[in-house]
Structure 1
Amino acid sequence: MLRELEQKFQNYPYQSLNSDLPQAAVLIPLVRQDNSFHLILTRRASHMNTHSGEVAFPGGKKDEADTDLLSTALRESWEEISLEPGLVKIIGRGSSVVSRFGLEVTPFVGVIAQLPELRANTDELDRIFTVPLEFLLNPDNLQSDLWQMSEHTYRMPFFQYREYRIWGLTAIMLAECLNAGFGTNIPLDVPHFDREFGLRPRQRFKS
């Protein structure tokens, strides 16, 4: 299964924006548990100035010392959840998207053979949790919100897993990952996949 999954991501036509925006990267970590995949996610601490209380993938802004964006994703995963880079097998990446704070974010998909001992960096996070892939692949668990930007209305995907709401940029990157690797058909008519979105002045979303 892993080899087939890797091939799907290698053949996936992800898009790169190549904008002049500041760069960031995240890791979409899939871990094997009980002969199935689970997704590792975090919840941002309530005292954070941005994204407080939001569910997110481990990741952050590119440092000058990072050799590339993959290095950024792995470094941030180590700093945020103590995930050792050597435990992660990178099998592909997703499309670059633009955050509401004006960052171009690139996601990388990685597989971990078994769940290691993870520790949340409490300066940034208050929770690390996993979601069964089976839950995310069940179409009954997919929900959507209508979002308006300028004169356009978009249907944004999200998931509600227990007390965790997986939405926004995290849900968009996750949905693309599920489509690319696991054959779902989640609609992604979202502004983040408009190539001009990151190249024009930012506008606020209205729910």
Structure 2
Amino acid sequence: MTARLPQSDPRLAAISIAAMATPAVCKEQLHSQALRMRFTQQKVWTPELTDETIQSVAYQDPSKRKIAAVLIPLIQNKDQLSVLLTQRAAHLKDHAGQISFPGGRKEATDQDALATAMREAEEEIGLASSCIEPLGHLPDYFTVTGYQVTPVVALVSLQQQLKADAQEVDSIFEVPLDFLMNPANHQVREWDGPRGRRRFYAMPYEDRFIWGATAGMLRNLYHFLNA
């Protein structure tokens, strides 16, 4: 029987696939210039539909969608790129305590998904727009909490110390991009929930447990780069 997942600890969910067997993205593709080039190319690829998306009311009923955007910040370090992530504050209504990208719900003054993602990144972690080089969007991701999320991928050159807004973010950290783009580090876990059995991706890294919507969007970044 599949383990039921306590909301406070997704790490207790049963592992159905310990590591995916598909090839990793070539390291040559994980540099700034290669990424810039990839986002100018029109390659055919298929976004992955997770159980979360299929079961999401936002996916099933457009009238109930809450429009949002996140920034997938690729930090330009000396030797490699890394992905900047946050751990959400434990008191938040949606996705409390989870690992996430900077982002949030669209406001009336936001012209587009990029504006939403950049505004939220500045509010949540103090990332100035002058540090951000947008590359492009990934397909929208639908969360079980009813959000239609546009992931905006960007290169980031840190020119300042980031500062987490304690009302929204507990901590800020980085994970090497090549780790996240290697399916050997992608687990499939599952639980029995109110809407039936649900499988989800997880990408444990050191003491961090990346899962759910964040892992689902990273899987789509993997498919996009590996096309």
Aligned-residue offset at 1:80 = 0.2
Alpha-carbon displacement from aligned partner over 1:112-157 (angstroms, at most 9, x marks no partner): 1346411000001110000011322333322111356899866432
Instruction: Tell me, yes or no, if the aligned pair for 1:32 and 1:115 is still in contact at 8 Å.
Output: no
- Higher RCO (C-alpha 8 Å, min separation 6): 2
1:137 counterpart letter in structure 2: M
What does residue 50 of structure 2 align with? none
Secondary structure, aligned partner of 2:39: helix
Give 5+ residue unaligned stretches, structure 2: 1-30, 48-58
Give the direction of change, closer, same or farther, for the CA distance of 1:63–1:136 in structure 2 (3 Å limit).
Answer: same
Instruction: Tell me, yes or no, if the aligned pair for 2:118 and 2:129 is still in contact at 8 Å.
Output: yes
Give 5+ residue unaligned stretches, structure 1: 185-207
Cα distance in 1, alignment partners of residues 172 and 194 from structure 2: 35
What does residue 41 of structure 1 align with? 85
Instruction: Tell me, yes or no, if the aligned pair for 2:131 and 2:159 is still in contact at 8 Å.
Output: no
Structural RMSD (CA): 2.5
Secondary structure, aligned partner of 1:26: strand
Cα distance in 1, alignment partners of residues 43 and 70 from structure 2: 18
What does residue 33 of structure 2 align with? 3
Q: Select 2:135's aligned residue among 88, 91, 94.
A: 91
Percent identity between matched residues is 35
1:161 counterpart letter in structure 2: Y
Instruction: Tell me, yes or no, if the aligned pair for 1:19 and 1:104 is still in contact at 8 Å.
Output: no
What does residue 156 of structure 1 align with? 200
Give the direction of change, closer, same or farther, for the CA distance of 1:114–1:84 in structure 2 (3 Å limit).
Answer: closer
Residue 202 of structure 2 corresponds to residue 177 of structure 1 = no
Instruction: Tell me, yes or no, if the aligned pair for 1:31 and 1:115 is still in contact at 8 Å.
Output: no
Cα distance in 1, alignment partners of residues 129 and 113 from structure 2: 14
Q: Select 2:161's aligned residue among 96, 102, 117.
A: 117
| Worse-matched range after superposition: 19-28 or 101-110 | 19-28
What does residue 78 of structure 1 align with? 122
Aligned-residue offset at 1:2 = 2.5
Aligned-residue offset at 1:19 = 3.5
Stretches (4+) displaced over 4 A? 12-15, 147-155
TM (normalized to structure 2)?
0.72
What does residue 53 of structure 1 align with? 97
What does residue 210 of structure 2 align with? 166
Equivalent pairs, count: 182
TM (normalized to structure 1)?
0.78
Cα distance in 1, alignment partners of residues 132 and 214 from structure 2: 20
| Worse-matched range after superposition: 157-166 or 36-45 | 157-166
Aligned-residue offset at 1:166 = 0.6
What does residue 202 of structure 1 align with? none
Residue 175 of structure 2 corresponds to residue 145 of structure 1 = no
